[in-house]
Amino acid sequence: MGLALMPFLILYFIIMLVLTVFLITKTNSKIRKMFYGVIIPVVFFILPLGDELIGTMYFKELCDKERGIVIHKKIYLPKESFDDSGKVKIQKKGFIFSNVVFDNRYHGSYTTQHISKTFNIKSKTYLIIDDLDKTVVAERTKYIFSKGWLANNIGTGVLLDICPSNYTSIDFINDVFNK
């Protein structure tokens, strides 16, 4: 879909130029000419990029304030539940975190929620649940921002920002379970 939008973007740019030149030539005031020469291009620039600009600010605020890991209780497993490198052995593996089982008593789960459909921001919360008492042992929330409309429709694929980006599900699992 990327290159298909190029004629529309060129037309959009031409309309902006024609409107700016038209308004500048119809006024005698230097202040109005400067105003039209600045405001119209700024407005035409912000309209297609506004969702990405504002969405990025909102995403960064969410990442700074609300993301994180909450460990409600540390779980101590026997030594045989860990491999030679000290990581928890996963008894049932799957592509999806909800297919993961630890020590035949704990399992992984996750929920996905749209935080903002306008700015295309989602949260994904990973949970480790105790199967005996059905309580949440730990949770990890990350945010996913799919950038703006224009960036996703001109590029070759969907652009994503994820936070925290350097903390993996394996890190989360190893922080919850101890020897």
Rounded alpha-carbon distances, angstroms, from residue 106 to 70, 97, 103, 109, 140: 16, 12, 6, 10, 15
Whole-model pTM?
0.67
In whole angstroms, give the CA distance from residue 45 to residue 151.
Answer: 13
The single-letter code of the amino acid at 87 is K
| DSSP three-state, residue 157 | coil
DSSP state letters, 63-131: HHHT-EEEESS-EE--GGGB-TTSPBPPSB--SSGGG-EETTTEEEEEEEEEEETTTTEEEEEEEEEET
The confidence score (pLDDT) of residue 174 equals 81
Beta bridge partners of 92: 101
The confidence score (pLDDT) of residue 97 equals 64
The confidence score (pLDDT) of residue 22 equals 92
CA angle 178, 100, 166 (to 5 degrees): 65
Average pLDDT per consecutive 10 residues, the chain (179 residues; last block may be shorter): 69 89 90 90 82 86 82 86 81 61 80 87 89 91 81 64 77 82
